[in-house]
Amino acid sequence: MRQAGAIVGRPVEKLWDRNITLTTRLVDTVTTPTLLKVVRSGKLQPSKLVTHRIALDDVMKAYDTFGNAAKEGALKVILKNQREA
């Protein structure tokens, strides 16, 4: 299995006989309402997932950081508008 560009352990073999369902998916228009509901409930705190904040003018650095997520230790990269700095 891969996570942020790095291979992670394969616990699937250990879970195989435990009747556990693993579901993966990217955030899209179908899952956004559910995601927002979970954030509003406080069960998910997105700020804890942000590992990098990069200026919008440095968007290529942000792409490089996310593209090399394992090396950079990036989970979520946020682009900042300079007026917010």
Instruction: Look over the chain and give the mean of its residue pLDDT values, rounded to a whole number.
Output: 82
Q: What's the confidence (pLDDT) of residue 1?
A: 43
The torsion angles phi and psi of 65, rounded to 5 degrees, stand at: -60, -45
- 0.75 cut: is pTM over it? no
Determine how β-strand 50-55 pairs with β-strand 76-80: parallel
**CA 38 to CA 65: how far, in whole Å?**
27
Indicate if the pLDDT at residue 81 is higher than 70: yes
Indicate if the pLDDT at residue 38 is higher than 90: yes
